[in-house]
Amino acid sequence: MRRFILARLAQAVVSIFVLITVLFFMVRLTGDPVERMIPPQVTEEMANELKRAYGLDKPLLVQYGVFLGGLVTGDLGTSLYFRGRTVGELLSLRILPSLELSVFSMLFSLLIALPLGVYAAKYRGRGSDYVARIFSILGGAAPSFLVGLVMLRIFSVQLQWFPTGGREGLWSVVLPTFTLGWFVSAGIMRLTRSSMLESLYGDYVKLARIKGVRESVVIWKHAFKNAALPVITYATVIFAAVIGGAIVTEYVFAWPGLGSLLIRAVIQRDFPVIQGAVILIGSAFVMCNFLADLAYAWINPKIRYTR
């Protein structure tokens, strides 16, 4: 088990390093950030002075070395758009709202998707199966921005049950949670259903029924435990993707998370903020993959001995 953990941890570290390197050079292909920072009438001399102040006049490899040195010490740099504010400060203000929205969305999706997937497999071809599949199809096909706008129109504008945007109290998280959670639950439900269909026809399930084990125990203890392996992997990975992929939902509901910060940074070519936000999201994605591998190995010990 120790060798398995060390191998997966080494892969995670290499993946993050590759992400950092590719991101650094690709961001600089978008153009000169100084053009966004100064008005057109500013002289070239003043523009060069601004580049020197932010270290943008140095060769690209030198900038890369400075950037890596800052990462080692935990310094992500200073924002070019939010003058005088460090990237770490901006991210610390935005990470909590994004985590809050992601956690609520994942809890909502799991509470909906797992029972629907299990009972859709158990009652395959019946009414509950068709209802679950329609739910998943609509959740996967409906664009998040459209669902969000419809929710705002009905429940915020017409009925006035929830706020139209922002992050003020528990009620403000309900609509964005449903919008994002419905999309996530569609994939989890389909995967749960397909995994359960395989498990329900396994010999261990047949043997449990022959022994007279209660049907609820057969379903949730025997069948679902084995069917949960791919679901755990998908749910763990999708959680990291939700943190960084809720950009549209955050924009529609004016949610002050990482997504809205990243959009503004991209528009303004704020290299340090783009790098910091993407590294944070990418690292979360890689670490969630790492945790999924550990969960897999814990549930199924055979995986520990595979490369």
Ordered by where they begin, the domains of the chain are 87-306 (1.10.3720.10)
Mean pLDDT of 250-265: 81
Phi, psi of 86 (to 5 degrees): -80, 155
pLDDT of residue 145: 73
Highest mean pLDDT out of 30-34, 66-70, 133-137, 184-188:
66-70
Is pLDDT of 56 > 80? no
Mean pLDDT of 209-215: 73
Gyration radius (Cα) of the chain, Å: 24
Is pLDDT of 28 > 70? yes
Nearest-CA neighbor of 110 among 192, 203, 196, 24? 192
Selected residue with higher pLDDT from 300 and 45 = 45
Mean pLDDT of 227-254: 75
% of the chain exceeding 70 in pLDDT:
89
Mean pLDDT of 14-21: 89
Is pLDDT of 235 > 60? yes
Per-residue confidence band for 300, with pLDDT thresholds at 50, 70 and 90: low
pLDDT of residue 212: 74
Per-residue confidence band for 35, with pLDDT thresholds at 50, 70 and 90: confident
| DSSP type of residue 73 | T
**For all residues of the chain together, what is the average pLDDT?**
79
Would the pTM count as exceeding 0.85? no
Looking at 104-113, 265-274, 285-294, which range is the least confident one?
Answer: 285-294
Is pLDDT of 306 > 60? no
pLDDT of residue 304: 54
Rounded alpha-carbon distances, angstroms, from residue 117 to 194, 208, 217: 8, 21, 16
Nearest-CA neighbor of 291 among 238, 236, 226? 236
Tell me which residue has tokens 């790098």: 275
Chain centre to alpha carbon of residue 122 = 30
pLDDT of residue 129: 75
Rounded alpha-carbon distances, angstroms, from residue 196 to 127, 135, 139, 227, 294: 17, 18, 20, 5, 22
Nearest-CA neighbor of 12 among 239, 245, 284? 284
